[in-house]
Chain A
Amino acid sequence: MPFLTLDRLDKSFGTNPVLRNLSLEIEKGEVLALLGPSGSGKTTALRLIAGFESPDRGHILVDGEDVTALPPSKRRFGMVFQHYALFPHLTVGENVAFGLTGKDGMDRRVSEALAQVDLPGFEARRVGEISGGQQQRVALARALAPEPRVLLLDEPLSNLDPTLRERTRRELRRAIRKVGITTVLVTHEQEEAFHLGDRVAVLHAGILQQVGSPEELYERPATRFVAGFVGRASAFPGKYEGDGKVRLPSGLIWSGVPAVELGPGDAVELVVRPETLAFAPGGLSGRVAERRYAGPVSYFLVSLEGGLEVEVMAPAGAASEGDAVSVGLGTSGPQPRIFGVGA
């Protein structure tokens, strides 16, 4: 039985629907990342779980208990806010103690919570005096100290500068795993979602697109949106021939895996990862417009005849800018996915 259940949640602001029929099930101790561009409804989903907004329809259950009508102060959920929301008039210790009840062992529990995030002895510091990364950890310690049932993280790393982000992400991951708490985190960064989440739920325009492991999302995207949003991909328009075959305008027939039910003659798009494409004779001809060096491999932006631009991953020396090349399907990399166009 799932520990946290979102059951057909709807939410509109005025006449503007921001979440439609969102259902999710999260196991105890699981970390779920809500991934989506801005305006996708992911933050609203988190605020519904926290109780800062109430859904127009649907239910939220924790451990079998319906908490939909419960105010946030009664839910026993911990939350780390995007800008941390540390109380500026309180010390680090007082911030961490804010959610603790009962006088017994207050000091000990605060120092334990701070030790857990590697900030032992920070009790008397003022929150304005510590660095951004430390503030983030204080916010985490404050959220975890009352031993909440669920931990909610709203873009927990977006406020840090890039050099600090990766290290903090590893620390955050370690801390969450150590506690083993059921966690929902919201992010617009795929890397963050893939690193922190056991599973990732992709939202777009208020609609849940796909839930799955990072591998599933990358290799077997369920919707055209996921295919384009998660990882890099090139799209080739064509006509479906049946049996996983797509006829490109040039007459070539490439094959892939249909992501949806398709019939022969349907207009489709074949979506291909850069590592699945290769420079090979007998493919689509074009010219290298740009090369982006990335260490062991390079990414080549190729302008195909007919105007299409596609991205090919190949060894750094495979081609230079301006070279005439031929692009075909390689033998490695995820299988191309076929999506219907329109209707």
Chain B
Amino acid sequence: MKRLPVAGLLLALLLAWLVGYPLLMTLVEALRGPEGWTTAHLREFASRPDEWLALWRSLWISLTSVVLAAGIGVPLAFLFERTDFPGRRFLAAVVALPVALPPLVGVIAFLFLYGESGFASRAVQSLLGLESPPWRLVGPGAILLVHAYSMYVYFYLFTRAGLARLDAALLEAAASLGAGRARTLFRVTLPLLRPALAGAALLTFMTSLASFSAPYLFGGSFRVMTTQIVASKLNGETALSQVETVMLAGLALLGLVGMRWIDRSGLASIAGVGVRGVAPARRRLESTWARITAGTLGWLLAAFLLLPHAVLLLVSFVPPFTWTAEALPPVLALGNWAGLAQAEKLRPVVNSLWMAAVSTIAAVALGLAAARMAVSRPVDGGEPRRPWLASALEWLVAVPWAVPGTVFAIALATTFGVNQPWLGRFVLIGTPVILPLAYLVRSLPLTGRGSIAGLRGLDPALEEAAASLGAGRWRRLSRVVLPLLRPAIAAGAGLAFITALGDFVVSIVLYTFDTRPISIEILSSLRLQDLGMAAVYGVLLMTASAAAFLVWGQGETR
């Protein structure tokens, strides 16, 4: 009666080949020389102080980013979730905006704004009549600025979700037991928020450990692990780059384990904090003075947050080489945008669009298939899912989330740079296949985990009802399961699409001239001092991301 779950095994094998195998190959290659196994590369890594320095910098930059992001995000969440003031709803949406900006776009927006010849720098310079720009946007400070700007959103969103799920009765119980406001905050509210805060901390830590755009453009000689790896790779030190990759992956793993250890109550409860009850009511700011202050501060904050977006849009209208010393650009024109009509300038846009579309569709299909096999119970009395197969599928789908993009880029370059078909290795580097494949792997957690969560939330009786009404497997999928999963799938697909569309970290390692995506074109425009064109591409990415973010937001709110 027991039959082997063939489809499930095949899928697990495919995912293992895509996700686990490249990582394994990188480890193997890092330990291999021309004459077989060797620790030579490892020893070389260990003997170089700059490697240890980069590792240390990655670590402290990430930890500091967590502290900064929490310092901004948590108070903002309390402000927006617990109080009411004019314009709160609009501002609450604006505050989440930086998360929709692809990292590279955020970085160039900061460059145009706070860089040596950026708007803010020039404004301050001309205001104070300085000879040279008042600051330089380089080094760890600049990296941390960008990280804080883009990553506080995690703390903001998670804390708000946690606060919204708090049961008001718990706070009332604390008050009835004589606890004051501070005591309630520290003894009740914050402990209940711990899973949300731990989740945000982990996400921030992993994101900044994997962060590449900011260190690459602002780091200068300040190398973190991700930029170190790409530098080694571009210098042709392949073996060294593989050892570095293994080290960074190890650090990410350590971070994951460490966070789990800090919050043993588990990440599973990120979404569900406390008992589901009625959320505490917002406190209306009663005094006129407080309302005006909160409103003004809120709008100033919004202006500060929207400034990078606005600057990007403005620069996209500045013709090349027309803006030199003035505080504001003297000429605005549509020339840069018209440039998109040229095939060569449109090419990266088309490339990014098709590669993101293909990878997203494939990631949705694979993620959904894995979720079906991992979660759904057979309705026809067939064999129940093998638990080991289910957890293997779930694990494979989730792994790329914890692995920095640079690590995957090197892993794919390592695995698919040689032709050993009997080992499952093919030369894909230099072909149009490699980038969509890389995007696909990186998108799997977004689409797969969304589908898994969606299916878990689905009442199994719905599929049974469909079966008892005569619906076969495909009809059940198309008429019942897919329509009900649509929000979850749309959310995952939207995020996967914008991630692939704006990807820089993987592309810089794997792109070819013919398949260069938008991010690479932005970089080369910057190198050619064609800031306007870089801004045009940036605006395109920003718009697409905002659109996808809206779809995502709708999926989230149901």
- Residues of A in contact with B (beta carbons under 8 Å apart): 48, 50-54, 71-79, 81-83, 85-89, 98-99, 101, 142-143, 146, 152
* B:449-496 near A, CB below 8 Å: 459, 461-462, 464-472, 479-480, 483-484
User: Which residues in B have their C-beta under 8 angstroms from that of A81?
Assistant: 461, 464-465
Q: Contact: A87 with B471, CB < 8 Å?
A: no
Residue pairs across A and B with Cβ atoms less than 8 A apart, 30 shown, are: A51-B380, A51-B381, A51-B467, A52-B380, A52-B467, A54-B380, A54-B382, A71-B467, A73-B380, A73-B467, A73-B469, A73-B472, A74-B470, A75-B468, A78-B469, A79-B464, A79-B468, A85-B465, A86-B465, A87-B466, A87-B480, A98-B466, A98-B469, A98-B471, A98-B479, A99-B468, A142-B465, A143-B469, A146-B470, A152-B468
Contact A52/B381 with A85-B462, A88-B484 known, Cβ cut-off 8 Å = yes
Q: Contact: B459 with A83, CB < 8 Å?
A: yes
Q: Which 4 residue pairs are nearest across A and B when measured between Cβ atoms?
A: A99-B469, A54-B381, A85-B461, A71-B380
Cα distance A50–B380 in the bound complex, in angstroms: 9
Nearest-CB distance from B474 to chain A (Å)? 11
* B:356-390 near A, CB below 8 Å: 379-382
Number of interface residues of B (CB under 8 A): 20
Q: Contact: B468 with A72, CB < 8 Å?
A: yes
User: Which residues in A have their C-beta under 8 angstroms from that of B459?
Assistant: 83, 85
Cα distance A313–B461 in the bound complex, in angstroms: 44
User: Which residues in A have their C-beta under 8 angstroms from that of B464?
Assistant: 50, 52, 72, 79, 81, 85
Nearest-CB distance from B265 to chain A (Å)? 29
Nearest-CB distance from A113 to chain B (Å)? 12
- Residues of B in contact with A (beta carbons under 8 Å apart): 379-382, 459, 461-462, 464-472, 479-480, 483-484
Q: Contact: B379 with A72, CB < 8 Å?
A: yes
User: Which residues in B have their C-beta under 8 angstroms from that of A71?
Assistant: 380-381, 467, 472
Cα distance A83–B461 in the bound complex, in angstroms: 8
Q: Which residue of A lies closest to B471 (CB)?
A: A73
Cα distance A78–B470 in the bound complex, in angstroms: 9
Cα distance A41–B461 in the bound complex, in angstroms: 18
User: Which residues in B have their C-beta under 8 angstroms from that of A74?
Assistant: 470
Contact A142/B469 with A72-B379, A87-B480 known, Cβ cut-off 8 Å = yes
Cα distance A76–B466 in the bound complex, in angstroms: 12
Nearest-CB distance from B382 to chain A (Å)? 8
User: Which residues in A have their C-beta under 8 angstroms from that of B480?
Assistant: 87
Contact A89/B461 with A73-B467, A99-B470, A146-B469 known, Cβ cut-off 8 Å = no
Cα distance A83–B459 in the bound complex, in angstroms: 9
Nearest-CB distance from B176 to chain A (Å)? 30
Cα distance A99–B472 in the bound complex, in angstroms: 11
Cβ-defined partner of B468 (8 Å) among A50, A54, A89? A50
Main secondary structure of the interface of B (DSSP, over half): helix
Q: A75-B468, A88-B484, A146-B469 are in contact. List 19 more A-B contacts (CB 8 A).
A: A50-B468, A51-B380, A51-B467, A51-B468, A54-B380, A72-B379, A72-B467, A72-B468, A73-B467, A73-B472, A79-B468, A81-B461, A81-B465, A85-B464, A87-B465, A98-B471, A98-B479, A99-B468, A142-B469
**Max count, chain B CB within 10 A of own CB: residue among A73, A78, A101:** A73
Nearest-CB distance from B61 to chain A (Å)? 46
Cα distance A146–B483 in the bound complex, in angstroms: 23
Cα distance A48–B380 in the bound complex, in angstroms: 10
Q: Contact: B465 with A52, CB < 8 Å?
A: no
User: Which residues in B have their C-beta under 8 angstroms from that of A72?
Assistant: 379-381, 464, 467-468
Nearest-CB distance from A161 to chain B (Å)? 20
Q: Contact: A79 with B465, CB < 8 Å?
A: yes
Cα distance A146–B466 in the bound complex, in angstroms: 12
User: Which residues in B have their C-beta under 8 angstroms from that of A51?
Assistant: 380-381, 467-468
Nearest-CB distance from A153 to chain B (Å)? 12
User: Which residues in A have their C-beta under 8 angstroms from that of B461?
Assistant: 81-83, 85
Q: Which residue of B lies closest to A86 (CB)?
A: B465
Nearest-CB distance from A22 to chain B (Å)? 16
Nearest-CB distance from B211 to chain A (Å)? 40
User: Which residues in B have their C-beta under 8 angstroms from that of A82?
Assistant: 461
User: Which residues in A have their C-beta under 8 angstroms from that of B472?
Assistant: 71, 73
Nearest-CB distance from A77 to chain B (Å)? 6
Cα distance A75–B471 in the bound complex, in angstroms: 11
Cβ-defined partner of B470 (8 Å) among A52, A53, A76? A76
Q: Which residue of A lies closest to B459 (CB)?
A: A85
Q: Which residue of B lies closest to A145 (CB)?
A: B469
Cα distance A76–B468 in the bound complex, in angstroms: 7
Q: Which residue of B lies closest to A89 (CB)?
A: B483
Nearest-CB distance from A85 to chain B (Å)? 4
Q: Which residue of A lies closest to B379 (CB)?
A: A52
User: Which residues in A have their C-beta under 8 angstroms from that of B484?
Assistant: 87-89
Cα distance A50–B465 in the bound complex, in angstroms: 10
User: Which residues in B have their C-beta under 8 angstroms from that of A88?
Assistant: 484
Q: Which residue of B lies closest to A77 (CB)?
A: B468
Cα distance A71–B469 in the bound complex, in angstroms: 11
Nearest-CB distance from B481 to chain A (Å)? 10
Cα distance A225–B467 in the bound complex, in angstroms: 36
User: Which residues in A have their C-beta under 8 angstroms from that of B469?
Assistant: 73, 78, 98-99, 142-143, 146
User: Which residues in B have their C-beta under 8 angstroms from that of A143?
Assistant: 468-469
User: Which residues in A have their C-beta under 8 angstroms from that of B379?
Assistant: 52, 72
Q: Which residue of A lies closest to B377 (CB)?
A: A52
Nearest-CB distance from A24 to chain B (Å)? 19
Nearest-CB distance from B338 to chain A (Å)? 45
User: Which residues in A have their C-beta under 8 angstroms from that of B380?
Assistant: 51-52, 54, 71-73
Nearest-CB distance from A60 to chain B (Å)? 11
Q: Which residue of A lies closest to B466 (CB)?
A: A98
User: Which residues in B have their C-beta under 8 angstroms from that of A86?
Assistant: 465
Q: Contact: A78 with B468, CB < 8 Å?
A: yes
Cβ-defined partner of A101 (8 Å) among B465, B466, B467, B470? B470
User: Which residues in B have their C-beta under 8 angstroms from that of A85?
Assistant: 459, 461-462, 464-465
Q: Which residue of B lies closest to A71 (CB)?
A: B380
Nearest-CB distance from A45 to chain B (Å)? 13
Cα distance A64–B439 in the bound complex, in angstroms: 57
Q: Contact: B381 with A73, CB < 8 Å?
A: no
